[in-house]
Structure 1
Amino acid sequence: MSPVFGHGRLRLYLLKLLEESPRHGYEVIRLLQDRFLGVYSPSPGTIYPRLARLEEEGLVTHEVVDGKKVFSITDKGREELNSRLDELADLEQEISASVRDIAREVKEDVRDTVKSLREELTKMAKDVRTGQKADVRRLREQQKRQWTEHMSSWQDESERLKHEWRRIWGDIWTSIGGVPGNRVELDNELGSMLADFVAQVREDASDSHLTRERLEEIRHTLSTASQSIRNSLH
């Protein structure tokens, strides 16, 4: 029970409600609930025994309407109510003050709830932005790691191809017969130079956009270089 209705004051307020109009029990409960903004709602176990006691004392009476007991105040009940008007006025003031306190608490709760919700939404937005930045960083790190791995793999493959070309061209060069014994070392060095040249050209070609026009330019350049080399050897 609400503290406002201590010391038998609920009995007085029930007489006040029934003096306004005949009512059934659940209507009395609803009126009290509305009066206290839904914060205080007396149970049927609180209201009906008190109405029955008031009826036993001759302060109220009831009649059955549509299967429901409708309680009305009697003349004796009005006499008691009139004799306690000052007490009723104090009770009304206390109820009004209690309702104002309830309204203030509800307002503060709503304000605190809105503040908490705003803070939570701000935090969520910040977390989302932080998460997006973290995702971007992870993506960049992943791309950087993949690029590093790719470059490392490409360099390893380039070195392997370079050595393979050197070996192939070295084998081709040294397989040519008719080389005097006193010139084998110089001949092998020349073969290594040619192998390095082919490997370097092959590596450069892998990094460029090779077209038919460029290939013809290279063919002409190689032909000129070949003639220069032959001239040097004769």
Structure 2
Amino acid sequence: MYFHGHRGDRGCGMRHGMRHGGRGFGPGFGRGRGFGGRHGHDDEGRGRRRRMFDSGELRLVLLRLIADEPRHGYDLIRRIEELTGGAYAPSPGVIYPTLTLLDDMGQIAAADSEGAKKLFAITPEGQAELDANAALIDELLARLAAIGDEQQRTDSASVRRAMGNLRAVLMNRLRDRDLDEATLHEIVARIDEAAQKIERL
């Protein structure tokens, strides 16, 4: 369940991390493929997961999304997940402290909202920050879009079906006690041949 931000200990921890040169956004970034979630991998050593953004980059992305239209925390999480085709979504424990920081910096402010969720809108200070970092923000959004494109290419239902079918057939065949060495070599050769043909497409 997602929760709503406040100016409590999480915000203080964020500001402390930023002042002391830390990454500020900490672990827990999302559940995306290759970014520490169920499809994640460690590229900084055992037990340390790759981060989607460096310190300060998520702040700029959120600022840009809020500049497009006033948003609340859950909407920002959902929007980033949409941009990456479902491959990555930052956690509430990352989003809400960052919103608190932006609010404290005067770059966003609470906007009128009909519902219970707190909407944030960009301020003139926030727009000035966007203008000063326009090139970097474009790069960050392009990174998210590229992840979405890759997700669409690699997560096709038909591809997953074909891979599942191949795996099932192989497991079935390899369990056959009558499988001789010559047939096994033929199976391996055909798999290698298929891989080479796909690579040349």
1:52 aligns with 2:100: yes
1:98 aligns with 2:129: no
- Number of aligned positions between the proteins: 128
1:29 aligns with 2:29: no
Task: Report if aligned partners of 1:62, 1:69 keep a CA contact under 8 Å in 2.
Answer: yes
1:81 to 110, 130, 134: 130
Please report how far the alpha carbon of residue 92 of structure 1 lies from its aligned counterpart in structure 2 after TM superposition. 2.2
In structure 2, the residue matched to 1:10 is: 58
Structure 1 residues 39, 75: CA separation in 2 closer, same or farther (over 3 Å shift)?
same
**How far, CA to CA, are the matches of 2:111 and 2:141 in structure 1?**
29
Root-mean-square deviation (CA, aligned residues, Å) is 3.0
46-55 or 109-118: which moved more?
Answer: 109-118
Please report how far the alpha carbon of residue 110 of structure 1 lies from its aligned counterpart in structure 2 after TM superposition. 5.2
Q: Deviations over 1:167-204 (max 9, x none)?
A: xxxxxxxxxxxxxxxxxxxxxxxxxxxxxxxxxxxxxx
**How far, CA to CA, are the matches of 2:171 and 2:127 in structure 1?**
61
**How far, CA to CA, are the matches of 2:167 and 2:132 in structure 1?**
55
**How far, CA to CA, are the matches of 1:117 and 1:14 in structure 2?**
41
Gap regions ≥5 residues in structure 2: 1-28, 30-34, 36-50, 176-201
Please report how far the alpha carbon of residue 93 of structure 1 lies from its aligned counterpart in structure 2 after TM superposition. 2.3
Please report how far the alpha carbon of residue 39 of structure 1 lies from its aligned counterpart in structure 2 after TM superposition. 1.6
In structure 2, the residue matched to 1:114 is: 162
Please report how far the alpha carbon of residue 4 of structure 1 lies from its aligned counterpart in structure 2 after TM superposition. 3.8
Please report how far the alpha carbon of residue 113 of structure 1 lies from its aligned counterpart in structure 2 after TM superposition. 4.1
Greater Rg over alpha carbons, structure: 1
TM-score, length-normalised on structure 2?
0.54
Higher helix share: 1
AA in 2 matched with 1:81: L
Please report how far the alpha carbon of residue 99 of structure 1 lies from its aligned counterpart in structure 2 after TM superposition. 2.2
SS at match of 1:62: strand
Q: Deviations over 1:59-83 (max 9, x none)?
A: 0001462222110010000000011
SS at match of 2:94: helix
Structure 1 residues 26, 122: CA separation in 2 closer, same or farther (over 3 Å shift)?
same
Please report how far the alpha carbon of residue 118 of structure 1 lies from its aligned counterpart in structure 2 after TM superposition. 5.2
More contact order relative to length (CA 8 Å, sep ≥ 6): 2
Q: Percent identity?
A: 31
**How far, CA to CA, are the matches of 1:85 and 1:31 in structure 2?**
19
**How far, CA to CA, are the matches of 1:99 and 1:34 in structure 2?**
8
**How far, CA to CA, are the matches of 1:55 and 1:123 in structure 2?**
56
Q: Structure 2 matches for 1:1-234, cutoff 5 A?
A: 1=29, 2=35, 3-63=51-111, 65=113, 66-107=115-156, 111-117=159-165, 120=168
Task: Report if aligned partners of 1:32, 1:41 keep a CA contact under 8 Å in 2.
Answer: yes
Task: Report if aligned partners of 2:70, 2:111 keep a CA contact under 8 Å in 1.
Answer: no
SS at match of 1:71: strand
